[in-house]
A and B are shown apart, each in its own frame.
Chain A
Amino acid sequence: QQQVKQSPQSLIVQKGGISIINCAYENTAFDYFPWYQQFPGKGPALLIAIRPDVSEKKEGRFTISFNKSAKQFSLHIMDSQPGDSATYFCAASENYGGATNKLIFGTGTLLAVQP
């Protein structure tokens, strides 16, 4: 019940295309869903996050779509660029009465944007 399942494992997109990464969860107590971007040799960087009371959140070229009934959420990268080539992780957190920041991560998606 603690798992966050992420797909696909890897993704190749042409420059200018849309990259879509999907995640699914079982624990209905999860109430915070961030996405992180990680480049080789670097720590994960927070991209965008969403709470379950919102169905969509957009920041620049990055959009999170959230489907509470299906327990799924996805990251869309519009107009993908070679500089977006990185590993993307979805994550989820359960607010134990505000006591913890513990994140459960998906397995990651390696995105390659071809020029």
Chain B
Amino acid sequence: KAGVTQTPRYLIKTRGQQVTLSCSPISGHRSVSWYQQTPGQGLQFLFEYFSETQRNKGNFPGRFSGRQFSNSRSEMNVSTLELGDSALYLCASSLVAGAGYEQYFGPGTRLTVT
């Protein structure tokens, strides 16, 4: 079974631009979560989707948004990019929502904002 895939793997953007990242969960998984990883803040929860509905949201500004499609694939969008948005963005998929269900991470998208 294929793992979680994320595209693109690397991205360079300029301040003020917007970016869309894509995540395809493991086949059969219906829950997708997004995390931001930086050296300073570590791994931080962005948001979580299940059955096309946002179930939970982390403490990030409204510039960060996401959505999930009927095939469980998910996208996240960051508008008006800032230098501090440079990070590894990780997507994790799980069979269903709820603590105790194993989450599997993709390789991440490395976003660099210049």
Contact B106 A31 (CB under 8 A): no
Contact A100 B108 (CB under 8 A): no
* A49 within 8 Å of B (CB atoms): yes
Contact A44 B43 (CB under 8 A): yes
Within 8 A of A (CB), among B76-114: 90, 92, 94, 97-108
Determine which residue in B35, B48, B100 has the highest number of CB atoms from chain A within 10 A of its CB, and name it.
B100
Contact A49 B45 (CB under 8 A): no
* A42 within 8 Å of B (CB atoms): yes
B→A interface (CB under 8 Å)? 4, 31, 33, 35, 42-45, 48, 55-56, 58, 90, 92, 94, 97-108
Contact A42 B104 (CB under 8 A): no
Residues of A within 8 Å of B35, CB to CB, are 103, 105
Q: CA separation between A42 and B98, bound complex, in Å?
A: 25
Q: How large is the interface on A (under 10, 10 to 19, 20 to 34, 35 or more residues)?
A: 20 to 34
Contact B100 A100 (CB under 8 A): no
30 pairs, A vs B, C-beta closer than 8 Å: A31-B99, A36-B105, A41-B107, A43-B4, A43-B90, A43-B92, A43-B107, A46-B102, A49-B100, A51-B100, A93-B100, A95-B98, A98-B97, A98-B98, A99-B55, A99-B97, A99-B98, A100-B55, A100-B99, A101-B33, A101-B56, A101-B97, A102-B33, A102-B56, A102-B58, A103-B33, A104-B45, A105-B35, A105-B43, A107-B42
A→B interface (CB under 8 Å)? 31-32, 34, 36, 41-46, 49, 51, 89, 91, 93-96, 98-108
Q: Which of B31, B44, B45, B106 meets A43, CB within 8 Å?
A: B106
